[in-house]
Amino acid sequence: MAFTKNPELLKQLHDAVVEMDEEKTPLLCREALATGMDAYTAIMDGLAAGMDTVGRLYEEKEYFVPELLLCSDAMYAGLEVLRPHVKVGEHTAAGKIIMGVVEGDIHDIGKTLVKTMFEAAGWEIHDLGKDVKLERFAETLQETKANVVALSALMTTSMMAMPKVIGMLKTVDPAVIVLVGGAPLNAEIAARYGADGYAPDAIAAVETATRLITKAA
Ligand code: B1M
């Protein structure tokens, strides 16, 4: 497979997100694909790197919520182009997964990246979206009999709902595998919350879920 890591183009992708350019970002994404750049590299080292800078500008009070929204729109416009081209390695095991961002939290870019990787790996996905009512996860588990539930949170406040959701899920199905992720989490918090796994990024989420369902089989 052709694979280029064109630093100049990655920087342009980064800058287009930071500059809130919803028109230029998808054009650059098409250019990235045309040069043979790996779609996941373009997402992570281009678009998502741009969102990291945006986060820093927000912390430095140079950007405010309206700018964050416009940068997110640019990021999503680029993601639309790149998502269908994301590939993962061997489809060793694919399961059924429920995913969503917990109640009180509307940050869904990271969850969308996680979804993209599971799609590429051939999983059956039940995406509940963002700001998901806590009971909804357990209800959907009952309906779908999924083997994995992936919970995402981007705020230290919203992540505190996770132990409650995990408790509800384990009541429905003690064997269900619960994976958590999002910037404020880490493996230690995940274990304390009673999750079966933690993943720092979208690729690790698929790898961890695949390893856990294989182990449980
Ligand atoms: Co806001 N926001 N935001 N925001 N926002 C943060 C999260 C914040 C850290 C900024 C800051 O203060 N430095 C801060 C939270 C602080 C805290 O924890 N207490 C914050 C705040 C305070 C807020 C508001 C309260 C602001 C306000 O209104 N005054 C408000 C909250 C609204 C709410 O949720 N109720 C708010 C709103 C927004 C926007 C709507 C404007 C926008 C989101 C748009 C959208 O998502 N559609 C936004 C944005 C863009 C951000 C930052 C700048 C960027 C987040 C992002 O998309 N990153 C963020 C600052 C930052 O992160 N530096 C910030 C890129 C994305 C690719 O990374 O989501 O981390 P991430 O996902 C990664 C991994 O974490 C992981 O994989 C992904 C890819 O590798 N991952 C998983 C994620 N989920 C996973 C699940 C898994 C496994 C891995 O398995 C289950």
pLDDT single digits (tens) 33-59? 999 999 999 999 999 999 999 999 999
- On the question of a common fold for 7-85 and 96-216, the answer reads no
Task: Indicate the domain borders of the chain.
Answer: 7-85, 96-216
Q: Mean pLDDT for the chain?
A: 93
* pLDDT tens sequence across 4-27: 579 999 999 999 999 999 999 999
Residue 155 CA, ligand 1 centroid: distance in Å: 7
Quote the radius of gyration of the chain (alpha carbons, Å): 18
**CATH assignment of 96-216, among 3.40.50.300, 3.40.50.2020, 3.40.50.280, 3.30.450.70:** 3.40.50.280
Q: Give, for ligand 1, the residue of 107, 118, 125 to mutate: max count of ligand atoms closer than 8 Å to Cβ.
A: 107
Convert the pLDDT of each residue in 126-136 to its tens digit. 999 999 999 99
Banded model confidence at residue 1, pLDDT cuts 50, 70, 90: very low
Mutation to probe ligand 1, out of 98, 154, 176, 179 (largest number of atoms < 8 A from CB): 154
pLDDT in tens, 113-154: 999 889 888 899 999 999 999 999 999 999 999 999 999 999
Q: Give burial (CB, 10 Å; 0-12/13-18/19+) of 192.
A: exposed
* Residue 66, phi then psi, degrees to nearest 5: -60, -40
Question: In ligand 1, which atom is closest to the CA atom of 157?
Answer: 19
**Per-residue pLDDT at 99:** 98
What is the CA(93)–ligand 1 centre distance, in A? 30
Instruction: Please tell me the predicted confidence (pLDDT) of residue 5.
Output: 76
**What percent of the chain is predicted at pLDDT more than 90?**
87
CA distance 125 to 115: 8
| Mean pLDDT computed over 167-191 | 98
* Ligand 1 geometric centre to CA of 154 (Å): 5
- Please say if the pLDDT value at position 2 is more than 50: no
Q: Most distant CA pair in the chain: distance in Å?
A: 51
Q: Is the pLDDT of residue 171 over 80?
A: yes
Which residue's CA is the nearest one to ligand 1's atom 67?
A: 110
Topology (CATH level 3) of domain 7-85: 1.10.1240
Phi, psi of 83 (to 5 degrees): -50, -45
Residues whose beta carbon lies within 6 Å of some atom of ligand 1? 48, 51-52, 54-55, 58-59, 65, 68-69, 72, 104-111, 113-114, 150-152, 154-157, 179-184, 199, 201-202, 205
Centre of ligand 1 to C-alpha 65, Å, is 11
